[in-house]
Amino acid sequence: MENKTALVTGSSRGIGREIALKLAKKGYNIVINYARSKSAAQETAEEIESFGVKTLVVKANVGKPEKITELFTAVEDTFGRLDVFVNNAASGVLRPALELEESHWDWTMNINSKALLFCAQEAAGLMEKNGGGNIVSLSSLGARRYLKNYTAVGVSKAAVEALTRYLAVELAEKGIIVNAVSGGAVDTEALTHFPNREELLREAKERTPAGRMVEMEDLANGVMFLLSEEASMIRGQTLTIDGGISLLT
């Protein structure tokens, strides 16, 4: 049987890279999607190939439906199948609600929310040919609670979680399982863009009941669990991995 194939958007760095590496260790061929740094994507590909699997590196801004079509066409042309789609790529403008402009809103919603809808449509077409598959999205606590400067991103992640529920029901008949993972603050490159980064890190370190911050591997482990056979009856859920900080008022 051919190796199964996984596409992880935004997988040249950060959490997406961690997920891609874990999938490669399980024997999946990996499609690495990136938007900016080709060198980072190539470095990730080289590390993944050390596990004896194949990679495909594709530059595509998933906020644009035409680029999504090109991405999935490349997947089909190269591997002929898709078994796992991890909707990880994210971006956004970090400003208070009253300072947001239309371009900020559109940019954030397109990459974080619209991308899931149109990627899921493409993924479903490929997965159905092989009897099904799994879709997992990355969300954050800002989808359900207030985070400073997080208005546009928080709303976009709330849309991801809602869409996860709808997709889980509508794609079930095709053998496709859909879920999401929501994380607390993780010290990634993306966090450097937060104007209140130090405040977020300090609060996470001091208040997380588990005694430490959430790390990238924690979220990647959550994704891998949702992709496992043991989680096959979990549908349309958002698994929160935050060390318990969201339990505090």
Question: Is 105 strand, coil or helix?
Answer: helix
157: annotated active-site residue: yes
List domains and CATH numbers for the chain: 5-241 (3.40.50.720)
Give the least confident one: 16-30, 93-107, 175-189: 175-189
Instruction: Give the pairing of strands 55-59 and 133-140.
Output: unpaired
166: annotated active-site residue: no
Sequence-separated (6 or more) residues with CB below 8 Å from residue 173? none
- Tell me: the pLDDT tens digits for 66-86? 999 999 999 999 999 999 999
Q: How confident is the model at residue 232 (pLDDT cuts 50, 70, 90)?
A: very high
Residue of 38, 129, 150, 174 marked active site? 150
Has this prediction a pTM greater than 0.85?
Answer: yes
Structural contact between residues 8 and 76, judged by C-beta atoms closer than 8 angstroms: no
Structural contact between residues 46 and 69, judged by C-beta atoms closer than 8 angstroms: no
Residue of 26, 157, 166, 174 marked active site? 157
